[in-house]
Amino acid sequence: MLLLEANIVEQISSVGTHPPHVEQPLLAARGSEAAATAAAAAEHGGSGVEPGLRCELLPQLEGGGGDEQRAGWRTVPARCVLYIESYMLGGQYDRDVETAVECIVGYADGLVVGDDGMDAWVLDVDDTCLSNLLYYQGKQFGYGAPFDPTAFKSWARRGICPAIPQVLILYKKLLERGYKVFLLTGRDQETLGATTTSNLILQGFIGHERIFMRNKTYRGQGAVAFKSTIRKQLVAEGYRIRGNVGDQWSDLQGDCVGDRIFKIPNPMYFVP
């Protein structure tokens, strides 16, 4: 969901419920922006946002229908493409990420970091640390063709994903505070390991404790199962996962999710 202007902020209870450890800095969609997007879609030959199809829920940070809509889509409906494009490129996405990061930093700064070096944070990589906006923009944000894993792998192999600047700031602040940072991604270790590591370093993600990727042991596992296994491994090693950051709910669900989870908005795709 979208960041609200101060005069139309709604209480989180009006949107729905969520687990108590979920941090939700962003609340409901802006009706004025949704109306403007619908009008623009009509000008481009579309019918706007039809009843039951709420494009404005796609960047949501709170379970309110967006994920349920996307879960049944192989491609993004034509009438939502303009909305996603406007959200991602018009400045609202950047402002929402900045708000989320401010919330995360406030939480992290309020914790007491132990002297044993076992206070940890887990961060996802794709569209949490590194942006794939250029790739999805070239694919019309998912309109017309389903996700193409071969094409995405070719993109990732180029190693040119830019950092999401607000998250890079967060990353550095966590390290400065003495937290151990672990990066956890569903990317394939064998084919994308070296490129991903290099890409992260070139973009300034230096100093993390470890990066976990899928190896042959985890191929075929869903995101929740794979990431749960890795987090359980960290807890078994004695780490205290104080926070967990990702752009997909599947980054933040399952076992050993941490003391608090934080979702970065992403209307471009859905990973179950």
Nearest partner of 260 among 250, 239, 245, 271, judged by Cα: 245
Distance CA 152, CA 139 (A): 10
Rounded average pLDDT over 143-157:
91
Distance CA 157, CA 180 (A): 27
CB 142 within 8 A of CB 76: yes
Question: How would residue 159 be classed by pLDDT, with cut points 50, 70 and 90?
Answer: very high
pLDDT tens per residue across span 223-240: 999 999 999 999 999 999
Rounded average pLDDT over 80-107:
96
Q: What are the extents of the domains in the chain?
A: 6-263
In DSSP notation, 37-95 reads HHHHHHHTT---S-TT--GGGTT-SS-SSHHHHHHT-SS--HHHHHHHHHHHHSSHHHH
CA angle (23, 34, 138) in 5-degree steps: 85
pLDDT > 80? residue 191: yes
Name the DSSP class of 161: P
- Domain covering 6-263, topology: Rossmann fold (3.40.50)
pLDDT > 90? residue 120: yes
Rounded average pLDDT over 1-5:
29
CB 200 within 8 A of CB 211: yes
Whether the model clears a pTM of 0.75, i.e. scores above it, the answer is yes
Which pair of tokens denotes residue 262?
């934080």
- Quick one: what percent of the chain has pLDDT higher than 70? 74
pLDDT at 54: 76
Residue the block writes with tokens 């042959």: 216
Neighbour-count burial of 198, counting CB atoms closer than 10 A to its CB (0-12 exposed, 13-18 middle, 19+ buried): exposed
